[in-house]
Amino acid sequence: MSLYRGMNADELEFQYELRSKEADFDGLAAEWIKRCQDFRDASDVAVDLVYGKGEREKLDLFRGAEGGPVLVYIHGGYWQRGDKAMYSFVAEPFMAAGVNVAVINYTLTPACRLGDIAPQVRRAIGWIWHNTEELKINRDAISVMGHSAGGHLTAMMMATDWPAFDAAMPVDTVKAGMPISGIFELEPLVHTSINDGPGMDVPEAIRESPLFMEPATDAPQLVIAGGDETPEFKRQSDAYVEKFRTATRRMERYDVPDSNHFRELERLAEADSVVFQKSLALIKG
């Protein structure tokens, strides 16, 4: 039975279930966790800074340069898994290039509704904006990047009316966005095992889909996917760019060559990779 774009439940599961497509996901996760711990131990980092009242409303700030730009990084895990401690390594080349990196946590489903998560990310960005003097970073140079579910949340931040969220914050609080393998239309996930945590119905999925929310500014975006992603992930990124790119809103699509949904982050963490260089250029304006 067709459930979405002519696909049945099995076909949708294949398109959106990703761990089985990594030969040894558990081994990769263990490798990343150790790599991140080693990196944190050797870095100038403030761990578990509290940005909100929730138990997981904390962030790690990697200090690249006093007064420098700040990149807010949002981890993935389909809004039900993941932790900032597993993704610290992404900050390494940005720090070396003089960028401060805030890697954030947020409450996971089913402990909250999916619609409760974007407001937490806004609180994190608001907390950073209000505390930049103490943090010694440039609040006029905030960019946002996120992977997978974090890519969805990145797009949600690009669509945020910041003065409506906090009257003190300017409409252009976020100067650039880099969603990596983002989910911009959530409806297909309703019909897969991925929905075990979020528990969305179709109306909720539509409400939380950035594909139906125009970006609030013309801030540039770099919309990234892995070259070896499933066709649906590439289609989602293509659809987001095609819908919202204008003559004044620069939105570039880039596929990381020979990389699946997870390995693209390893390429991002390589200072000589095209995806890192493109991201750094956007952050530094």
How far is residue 17's CA from residue 15's CA, in Å, rounded to a whole number?
Answer: 6
What integer pLDDT is reported at residue 251 of this predicted model?
98
**Percentage of the chain surpassing pLDDT 90?**
98
pLDDT, tens only, 156-183: 999 999 999 999 999 999 999 999 999 9
250 pLDDT higher than 90:
yes
Of the candidates 169, 248, 187, which has an alpha carbon nearest to the alpha carbon of residue 214? Answer: 248
How far is residue 255's CA from residue 18's CA, in Å, rounded to a whole number?
Answer: 17
Phi, psi dihedral angles at 61 (to 5 degrees): -110, 115
How far is residue 71's CA from residue 142's CA, in Å, rounded to a whole number?
Answer: 6
pLDDT, tens only, 37-91: 999 999 999 999 999 999 999 999 999 999 999 999 999 999 999 999 999 999 9
Quote the Cα angle for 278-213-228, to 5°. Answer: 45
| Average pLDDT rounded to a whole number, residues 88-116 | 98
What integer pLDDT is reported at residue 1 of this predicted model?
81
- The pair of structure tokens assigned to 110 is 């089913």
How far is residue 175's CA from residue 60's CA, in Å, rounded to a whole number?
Answer: 21
- The full set of domains in the chain, from first to last, is 9-284 (3.40.50.1820)
